[in-house]
Chain A
Amino acid sequence: MPTFPSVEWFDAIKDIVNADPAFRQLGTVDAVIGIKVEHKIYELTFEAFECTAVREAGENDLRDMDFWLEQSYDQWKDMVTNIKEHGAADLSHTLNTIDLNIPEGFARSHDGYRRDAFYRFNQSIQDFFNASSKIDTQFASLEAVSA
């Protein structure tokens, strides 16, 4: 059972969406997206119709990403759990809603233009996270992600 957050967990979702014709039908996605969970950072690369790479990254890599998604670990767990329960994010757990709920924004970037990729590809990224409902997730301890 993959652990959230980990390369293994994101890889499992990557494999699901890359094999899903519905994900392709949403259209092309070209973005490098960071996932920041406390001190852990993961980089997801989307190119054309698929997620092409997942890797663990560092704080300095954020500058080169189009944007990154950042919220507290509890909020991440809440989001992933909600998706598992409903098969997809309910209205209070969509990426967009979370973005509006967090004063600093859920999607952050050093570049005002590249941050807008969050809006342009919003439904594909949402679909990516919704695919996590198809796997069983175990959560890492707070200490593990804060290290």
Chain B
Amino acid sequence: MANDTATINEALRAKAQEKAWPVGLVQQALAAGATPEQIIGYMEQGVTAEQARQFLASQPPGAAAPEPSEALQAKAEAAGWPLDLIRRALAMGGAEEDLIRYMDMGVTAEQAEQFMGGGQPQELDLSWMYVPTEWNTRARPTKHGLTLQAINVGKYGEVPDVWEFQTEMPRGAVPIAGTEGMGYSIFHKQEVWSDACAALYEEAIQRRWRPATDVPWTSIEPLPDDLERAICQVSTHLSEKAQVEADIIGRWEPEISYGYHEVKLYLATVVFEDARAVEVFRKRALSNGGGLGLQAPGWSYRSVIDSRNFTEMSTIQFVLQDSLTLAQYQYGEKYAQNAAERYIFARAMQDKARHIAYGITHLKYALLHRPERREEIQRYLDKGEGMLVMDDKRDRATREAFAIYFAGGKERIADGLKLERAMRRRGLQQYLERLKWATLGRDARLHPGLRPAFEE
């Protein structure tokens, strides 16, 4: 039965007065089956008297809840559903058989209340709609689409020299007090920034490729045993090297605070591209009757893994080591034995060149803003080059494998070793040229163990 005899309690009367709901309207709502708590809830949610009147008018005549049958009342009592809840359910159009079925299914009165929206009215807090962020922002797509650079407008494009927040708050949002820190350790722009990182991120996203389906794997035909062993050893080396880089970069990601999200995003693509290199070279090794080869001595990995600050890691990895890796990819494409290898090396080359681009633009930025770090960086490179020399002495497997691959067979390995040295020289030359562009002269300080590469 509708609540037509219910009186208006004090709380409801006060709220109705506050919200300018006429008494008659409140009585009408009660008569339609709403409880005083529900009506107060509607008022607090901002439902106006006019809206309530329209709603009630839209209900069919006699829409007040029918009296539940004796069977339903008995079932409700057994299931612990209050009679008032049953009446409201019926008033909302529920059929008796449905209600009985819900109770048989074990639906509790509380669940039914929530479903009907008849629980405690939710307190709304719309204050978030008025936080003082920069509003009316309308970033526009460019020829490249809606890029990271395109949305760096107004305050959102201001990258602070020092980021003061320990939390995951996005740049441009409003902080709330009491949020726990996320454990970042890099809060200074010069430690990670590159003016190219946003563009490099977009480029990496646009120029991605899929080893499983893009590489023409069926172009690989059986190779002489020495050549297959050589490319498998080369693939083992390149796959392993990429895995180490992915691990290292992945470790630095959570150190970088949210003020520099462009850097975080770009480095995420580096990890992804390294994963792709791990994948594609492993696939090459396992796709033509060969297998993996010998592990690398890994001395040069240590200089990157053991780096204690980001610029140290970035310079050794992206500028020193990746310059040599890029030369390996270049030579790999030139001496590819089939279309698949050519494709792999050519695409890996593009990815690697982006990593280098980030490394040297970051180094340039760091030296521009902290010129006193020049000698510090030189010392890191002393260490990085030293470890590289250690690898050179011990990693005969990779050197010989490249030589056989380039020369086309073991019997011509002497020619291949000359090509391998030329590859080494090219990588080192470009490394020194890139450092020069980043304003760091290194020619005179190059590790003595690397100089012989230039003397042939």
Contacts and interface: CB of A to CB of B under 8 A. Distances in A.
Interface of A: 26-28, 30, 47-49, 91, 94, 96-97, 99-100, 111-113, 116, 119-123, 126
A122 B350 contact: yes
Interface stretch (B89-97, B217-225, B341-349): B341-349
Contact of B350 (A49, A100, A112, A123): A123
Interface in B405-456: 426, 430, 433-434, 436-438
Nearest to A118: B353
A120 B203 CA distance: 9
Interface of B: 142-144, 199, 202-203, 206-208, 326, 330-331, 333-334, 336, 342, 346-347, 349-350, 352-354, 356-357, 360-361, 364, 426, 430, 433-434, 436-438
B334 A120 contact: no
Contacts of A126: 346
24 contacts: A27-B206, A27-B208, A28-B144, A28-B202, A30-B203, A91-B334, A91-B336, A94-B334, A94-B342, A97-B334, A99-B330, A100-B331, A100-B334, A112-B437, A113-B361, A113-B364, A113-B437, A113-B438, A116-B434, A119-B349, A119-B352, A120-B353, A120-B357, A122-B353
A124 to B, nearest CB: 8
Contact of B347 (A91, A94, A112, A123): A123
A116 B334 contact: no
A120 B430 CA distance: 15
A113 B357 contact: yes
7 closest A-B pairs by beta carbon, nearest first, are: A27-B207, A119-B353, A112-B437, A27-B206, A48-B143, A120-B353, A112-B433
B369 to A, nearest CB: 17
Contacts of A99: 330
B202 A116 contact: no
A96 B203 contact: no
